[in-house]
Structure 1
Amino acid sequence: MKIQGKMFIWLSVFVLIMAIVYGWWSKEPAGTTALFLAFGLCIMIGYYLAFTARRVDASAQDNKEADVADEAGEVGFFSPHSWQPLSLAVGGALAFMGVVFGWWLLYFSAPIILIGLWGWVFEYYRGENQNQ
């Protein structure tokens, strides 16, 4: 994690320099604001990774003498399949279409979003994926 933290911090320095140069050269506020926001995001991620790297054990990627096999093993648990993101995507699309066509579409999209969110949160508490 140390390497990623340093990479993001150096990236944030580069983006800050580019934001200053772009803002000075173009006098265009939207792009300048976007670059300053990108700087903020990079510095937050870099700080988080550097902060976390000090509190966890060093991984194989932090050791220059490590082999590829040193990082082998279980990474974590990943859901094999889920229909809930489709429900959230449909509900979100309807909600954003409500901005264009009328706020009345939120009456239809809000229940779809809530059902999808409820199903995603409680997916492993019922049905075939229930933990025993």
Structure 2
Amino acid sequence: MSEIREQLVYSDDHEWVLKLEGNIVRVGITDHAQCQLGDIVFIEMPDVGFEVTAGDSVGSIESVKTVSELYCPVSGIITKLNEELETSPELLNSEPYDNGWIFEVEVSGDLEKALGKLLSAEDYSKEVE
């Protein structure tokens, strides 16, 4: 069974979102997603300053099995990347919720409304059963 953390919200595309300070959120892939992908060997991330719309493809994740699109679950501007993933993409497998986070976004518009469109931990759990 995959780990699902209560304090996060989730997208249908298996990304998680953690609210930080102000309108900033941190995004990564779920434990379920990394299990499905297998050993991750490369990640293509968006550029800092890139403006995104919720649901946009912003990069890709390459594993030994497949290449999967990386989507942004909220609209806003990419403000920070986890540069450690450039040399250690395996962090997405070993620590998907901690050191394996992918990028941060300054959400445009109403943050609570944007997060409200995503799945609670309970709803996400039902989706991946």
TM-based fold match above 0.5: no
Larger relative contact order (CA 8 Å, sep ≥ 6) = 2
Bigger fraction of residues in helix:
1
Question: TM-score by structure 2 length?
Answer: 0.20
